[in-house]
Structure 1
Amino acid sequence: MSEITLTYAGPVDFDTYGRYRPGGRPGPRYPFQGRITVDGTGEFPAEPGRYHLYVAAVCPYAQRAAIVRSLKGLQDVVSLSYVDDERDGRGWAFRERRGADPVNGFATLREAYEATEPGFDGHVSVPTLWDRTSGRIVSNDFPDITIDLGTRFGGDPDVDLYPEELRPEIDALNVRIYEYANTAAGRIASATTEAEYGAARRAVISFLEELDARLADRRFLFGSGITEADVRLWPTLLRFDLSDNPAAGISERPLTAFPNLWAYARDLYRHPAFRENTDFTAITAPAAAETAAWRIRVAPLHADWDEPHRRAAV
């Protein structure tokens, strides 16, 4: 096997490269949708050491892939590396702050996309799952990546993030988590009228209240065990007070004002898989900007995530 030459992209340079834009490739935003198989068939059979996960500390979708990898104990099965926190028009890149690409020696993640589809002009996203054997991307479809990490590689048999009997319920809740949590801040921030803004805010606050009530008599969303739904929700809760709420003006009430939800979020943070894949320096509050008078102003809140949660007996 030839030695990899580790290279770095130059510094972020908006004057030269501009802001990142996803390109004009037709079709789905996440076009690589290969799946890992457990029976040895298909293009991408589950094999230890074959696959590599590219992630970013700033990205909640990438963070949850890293969390699942840790929860299942796959650190020696699927390798992982980080792209830099910032991106200019070149997209995600490898710089000294987060380290070089240890698999291919790419300077930018776009090179992985172009190696998979020459001339690729679409969205370069994380997480990206790479296949060392074929030298191409398996998937950049983030919901499939966490499901495959959680179900296709074995790992810790005591951790079942996607139990067969709960899958319809988990899938149904995940749809709502995506709409009212994962993507809510962007939708609220982009509202152009007071009516649109108010309706979007109310829907999100109502969902947070629903989750808070749900967690009054159960430790996690589906009882005593962590599931795929908890992993999908948690990175958004992590960012709510520090970034999403200040950026979008979602709620006058911070996460800390939802007692069960806040204790639940701290409970998960105490788990090594969540804590060790969290970098608070990558979760930054946006600079204040002039906005419409009908938008609420919310200051970033630096809460104590190490405060005891007292949920073990729930």
Structure 2
Amino acid sequence: MASKGCVMVTGGAGYIGSHAVLALLDADWDVVVIDNLVTGFAWAVDDRATLVEANVADDDAVRAAMRDYDVVAVMHFAGSVVVPESVSDPLKYYRNNTAASRALIESAVACGVKHFIFSSTAATYGIPDVVPVREDSPKQPINPYGMSKLMTEIMLKDTAAAHPINYCALRYFNVAGADPQGRSGQSTAGATHLIKVAVEAAIGKRDGVSVFGTDFDTPDGTGVRDYIHVSDLAAAHVDALDLLIAKPDESHTLNCGYGRGYSVLEVLDAVDRVTNMKIDRRMEGRRAGDPDALVADNAAILKALPWRPKRDDLDGIVRDALGWERRLAER
């Protein structure tokens, strides 16, 4: 089948970006990846894509790739994502997330790229007053990570008002799992995501899992989060791209979640079920700024896109994450 055109995927050698690359390629798009490989892995980029090793703020490299590959859209995943680090090193986050995004958006405008999909986050909401959280809920980030992403959303809104470009900002909730075909997964050393940490413990890479806080206002006292399978999330990006192309005068901001929350203990119970073993749990104090519950109201994305969750099964998410962890151990 003929290609639909070329999409630039920044951060395409990372966890979520590499899954988006797979989804785009499987949907007959050509892909050029921009990644400086500081946290990404060249081997995570599918052979069908082209990898350009560069920083997204490198105007010359980015614009050359946009022109050489006749890029029609950008999917922007590159950036720094560790919330506690953003508190201790805020300027890194404003450089890597906000300033670098500004440079990338400017390059897209300069090269006539018409569509921009942005990897945003539920951290833009901070500690929400009402759960599930809607897109029009107050945006009150409580850390520089969330603020750096919100600032990029604002830049995109202002740019789309001034230039012939439209965008979709997708606010992720807790991304987990791995490609069911085993082509990619969460590979970052020292990752802090609960399911990643738990499956590492299950295969012996960690000696247990810390549970941060048992006194939240939730049924079992541990924090509740909305976990979305990374392959479902990647599929949402492809559908969002189709929408931007079909309706070039419209832009969107959409939550990406299932609208169902699981507590930390429920997640660990799922890992125990899937592995048929008992992971050691260490009860510890709360981390600063952790909300009791963070769950998406996903009515808007279900209305705007044909996207429907296909992998919204907690045990299945854990199973895919575990399979990838075992593959990593064999690398």
TM-score, normalised with respect to structure 2 = 0.29
The structure with the greater share of residues assigned to strand is 2
TM-score, normalised with respect to structure 1 = 0.30
